[in-house]
Structure 1
Amino acid sequence: MTRTLSVMAALILTTGLLASSMVMADTPEALNEIEVNGQKMPVQQVLETPMQGIYEVHLDTGETFYTNAEGKYFVIGDMFENSADGLVNLSEQNRSAQRAERIAAIPADEQIVYRGTDEPKAVITVFTDTTCGYCRKLHEEVPELNEMGIQVNYLAFPRGGMSSEGARRLEQVWCAANRTEALTDAKHDELPESAASCDNPVAEQYQLGRALGVQGTPAIVLPDGTMVPGYVTADRLAAMLDLDS
């Protein structure tokens, strides 16, 4: 249930203090200037929570923590609501909404899209790496997904980072004249002998994936922003989307 905050941890470990801040603010707005060990946190936004006096702080890195109005105490982890239907993960609901919003903002021409001949019933977004075995397995089922009415939009996520062979291959794919063919070929280890070069979104998409919580590939994002890590069969995906297989 607990998520480790790399940015926060790096700042905190210099003194070993987990719950203190240099900011003693009287208003929640001051949390935008929150500091740890004299260093300003990269705060993206501060949101109210259902718990009075507790605020959700989002960092530019995609990480989240909770604090009081003075920024004196930090809680790292997810917030749950004990509802009549059981525990509801409010933190994950917020993360899903943010994923959906940020993915919706990606231009269509920066994605690699596979769709059937009919109007899609649902669209999934997949962070992929051509060197990933389970990514290849999922890709083999794309025609079946398309027949079910599921459009597949691919984004790049080189597992080994931007200096990896996977990143080089993905850049070649995104620079190809026919990206859909190039991606399918790349998943069968077939790439152009000459390395294509162009302005491409691979690095940007890799950073986006990290900010959205992608830790491996394939990482499937459903239309509501829910992330499904790892390979899932076409039938199972259709069930998640309430589509008939």
Structure 2
Amino acid sequence: MKVSTLSLAGGLLAATLTLPSLVWADVPEALETLEVSGHRMPVKDVRETPMADIYEVRLETGETFYTNAEGNYFLVGDLYEKADTGLVNLTEKARNTERASRVEGIPDDQRVTFRGTETPQAKVVVFTDTTCPYCQRLHEEVPRINELGIEVDYLAFPRGGMDSPGARELQEVWCADNSSEALSAAFRDESLESDATCDNPVEEQYHLGLELGVQGTPAIILPDGRLVPGYVPAERLAAMLGLKD
């Protein structure tokens, strides 16, 4: 199941990108106070692109678009560079870098981790929802994924939003004394004994997922930041990570 894409100033734009940072002192003044139809844009930062006089504007929501120095033309979509090997999607490369950096910054105690008995050779981060059938299917594969040398770190993404039953169940998981056991129990549709009133990161992780382009569950983030939507069998996931049985 997918969630709706974030809207930008009344549904203007939706995209994500990160390019090398530009010092705010060098940003055209018009972009620091950018407005559309009388609405002040929640600009987080403005960065240069490889194209002269074209800037990338990133909003506090994580959405991004391109504009000229005056802020009166807008472009939405991926930016490509012509290289000797063909077209290189600079936007996707930047998205991957952003995702990898953001998920790397999440503390271990805010993840639900399945590591297995062996030292992992790779680690993936999975945005999950206990009410999602394909998440349940992926979780059934976790023992095999661990055997293949892959650690699985779960983050919460209630696909129905924070008012959904899935959100409450995820909060119960993160509030449990043993969150990994609680998550497995929830996937088996067993009742949890914990409550959802503790200080938990479910809502924060939900909004993070939206910012990183997650539109449904499961959503797998590979170590290089690539986002793989949907269920992936254990052997195929290992192949994507360059691992062999």
After TM superposition, the score normalised by the length of structure 1 is 0.88
Q: Which residue of 1 aligns with 2:22?
A: none
Work out whether residues 11 and 37 of structure 1, in 8 Å CA contact, stay in contact via their aligned partners in 2: no
Look up the equivalent residue of 1:52 and give its one-letter code: A
Q: CA deviation at 1:193?
A: 5.3
Q: CA deviation at 1:192?
A: 2.1
Distance in 2 of aligned mates of 1:140 and 1:217: 15
Given the alignment of the two structures, is residue 69 of structure 1 paired with residue 69 of structure 2, yes or no?
yes
Aligned counterparts, 1:128-139, within 5 A? 128-139=128-139
Q: Bigger relative contact order, structure 1 or 2, given CA contacts below 8 A and separation 6+?
A: 2
Q: CA deviation at 1:8?
A: 3.6
Aligned residues: 229
Q: CA deviation at 1:150?
A: 0.6
1:183-222 Cα offsets, whole Å, 9 max, x none, are 0010010122563421111011001111111100000000
Q: Which residue of 2 aligns with 1:15?
A: none
Counterpart of 1:7 in 2: which secondary structure? coil
1:130-176 Cα offsets, whole Å, 9 max, x none, are 00010011111111111111110000000100000000100110010
Q: CA deviation at 1:11?
A: 6.2
Q: Which residue of 2 aligns with 1:199?
A: 199
Look up the equivalent residue of 2:56 and give its one-letter code: E
Superposed CA RMSD in Å reads 1.8
- Greater alpha carbon shift after TM alignment, 131-140 vs 49-58: 49-58
Given the alignment of the two structures, is residue 106 of structure 1 paired with residue 106 of structure 2, yes or no?
yes
- Unmatched 5+ stretches in structure 1: 13-25
After TM superposition, the score normalised by the length of structure 2 is 0.88
Work out whether residues 123 and 222 of structure 2, in 8 Å CA contact, stay in contact via their aligned partners in 1: yes
Work out whether residues 168 and 196 of structure 2, in 8 Å CA contact, stay in contact via their aligned partners in 1: no
Aligned counterparts, 1:72-221, within 5 A? 72-192=72-192, 195-221=195-221
1:9-56 Cα offsets, whole Å, 9 max, x none, are 4469xxxxxxxxxxxxx9535423211122221112212111111111
Distance in 1 of aligned mates of 2:166 and 2:227: 22
**Alpha-carbon distance change, 27 to 176 in structure 1, aligned in 2, over 3 angstroms:** closer
Q: Which residue of 2 aligns with 1:21?
A: none
Q: CA deviation at 1:81?
A: 1.4
Distance in 1 of aligned mates of 2:232 and 2:221: 12
1:40-75 Cα offsets, whole Å, 9 max, x none, are 211122121111111111111111100111111100
